[in-house]
Structure formats: C-alpha cells, structure tokens
Structure 1
Amino acid sequence: MTVVLAWTTTPEGQAAQEAALSEAARRGLDLVVVPVEEGAPTPDLHADGVDVRVRHPDRRDRDVVGDFLDIAAEEEASLVVIGVRHRSAVGKLLLGSVAQQILLESAAPVLAVKGRTPAREA
C-alpha cells in the first residue's frame, strides 16, 4: 500500500506534496510521486521515515489521467493526493479538468488539496 501523489510545479502541487508527505508519514506508507506535467523536472523529495519513489507516466497515448491512474493501481494506492485550483465553469468545459477526472475515476480515496492563497488586505 502506498500514497500516490500527482506532482506538479504549481503552488497547488506544492501544497499537495506537503500533504502527501504528511499522510505517508502518518500512515507509515511509502510515497510514490508521479510527475503529471509534460517536461517537468524530476522532483527530489525526502522525508524522515518515508520511502519516496518517482514513477514517470508512460505517455505513449498522451492520456495523463489514464497513465496516472494505472500507476496508482499498480502501486496499490491507499490514498491519491492531488492539488486543485478554482476554475470557472467555462474554463472546465473548454479545457477539461485533470483533477476532476482523477476524483471521478480513482479506485482509491482522493485527497484534494488547495494551494495557499495570499492574505487579502482589508
């Protein structure tokens, strides 16, 4: 059993990374990091007591969600962690939503983490 992280270089991805490391440590599980951005650098994550491995999606068919979910299934994920951000309904309609697809299609429970927002001035 593992925690599987859909890793991106965004603020939402950073928040998801922190949550995934915390959950893996709390549950005593390994963390599998899957970079889901095309051309993103390989993450270098370390945490005390957590075995962290990186698995790259196959990308032969360019279906990032399918590739990610295949890895999660192969790793017997007990938890999937993703970063999410607010998008308008039109934005979701036109561009789709990787996070939404993962939420709907994952066999494992999904922890959706929002990125930090800057404090607003009064």
Structure 2
Amino acid sequence: MTIVIGFTPEPASTQALERGLEEARRRGESVLVVNATKGDAFVDTRYGTDSEIGQVRQQLEESSVPFEISQPMGPDIADLVLDEAERVDASCIVIGLRHRTPVGKLLLGSTAQRILLDATCPVLAVKPPR
C-alpha cells in the first residue's frame, strides 16, 4: 500500500511530509509525494523548484521508505492529488493545513477541504506548529 503526501514548499507541507513518513514507517508502506500545479502562472511558488524537490528526495532517501515523487499539472490541484491517490490505491492521504482567514477561504476555495471531502481513503490533516 501507499501513503500519498500532498506537498508544497511551505511549513505546513514540511510537517505533512514528516508525518507521512512516520506513518509509512509505522505501517510498512511506501509514499508518493505529490507536488502539483495548475500551470496557469509563470511562477507558482507552491510548485517545487529543482532544488526544493531535490531536498525532498534527499529526505525521502534518508528515511529508507520506498518512495515516488509526482509533479502533475492540471486545472485543479485537489483533483490532481485525488487522481494520484486513486492511481496508487492509496491507504491514506496526508496534507498540511495552513491558517487562512474566513474571507480567504470564501474567495479562494480550499484545496485541503476538497481533498478532505472527496477522498475515498482516510485523510490525515497536519497543522504546522505555531
């Protein structure tokens, strides 16, 4: 089985990566790190650079947990994460949560909320420490 970890280069996702690796070791499973982009902006700060993905790859290699990294592109980030989870028949999805204002949630929608509501497997939502 595989644990899917939604990743963006920010503190909430760093916590999700660490928690996802802990869960994978505990369960004896592999991980699939998904770093997705809509591809609608010249620079998407949530899409890992070669250097950032290289750091993730190094952390994964040091963990000794079997892994795969996917960087898909499409119109909806939540759908991309959910599609990858379905592709690998994920046992769990781990995502990081970040603080957003009520107005921010209303105007921008919530990828995390969509994943929580639409996933066909359990979802572990991780908050970064304050």
Instruction: Give TM class, smaller chain.
Output: 0.7 to 0.9
TM-score by length of 1: 0.87
Conserved in 2, the CA contact under 8 Å of 1:72 and 1:80?
yes
Question: Which one-letter code corresponds to 2:124 in the other structure?
Answer: L
Question: Which one-letter code corresponds to 1:28 in the other structure?
Answer: G
The two structures, once aligned, show a CA RMSD in angstroms of 1.4
What SS does structure 1 have at the residue aligned with 2:120? coil
Cα distance in 2 for residues equivalent to 1:46 and 1:83: 21
Aligned to 1:85: 98
Cα distance in 2 for residues equivalent to 1:64 and 1:49: 28
Aligned to 2:41: none
| Identity, % of aligned positions | 43
**Residues 1:40 and 2:48 aligned together:** yes
Determine which structure has the larger helix proportion and give its number: 2
Determine which structure has the larger strand proportion and give its number: 1
Cα distance in 1 for residues equivalent to 2:63 and 2:9: 22
Runs of 4+ with >6 A deviation: none
Structure 2: gaps (5+ residues)? 38-43
Spell out, residue by residue over 1:68-105, the C-alpha distance to the aligned partner (whole angstroms, 9 max, x if none).
11110011100100000121211100011111111011
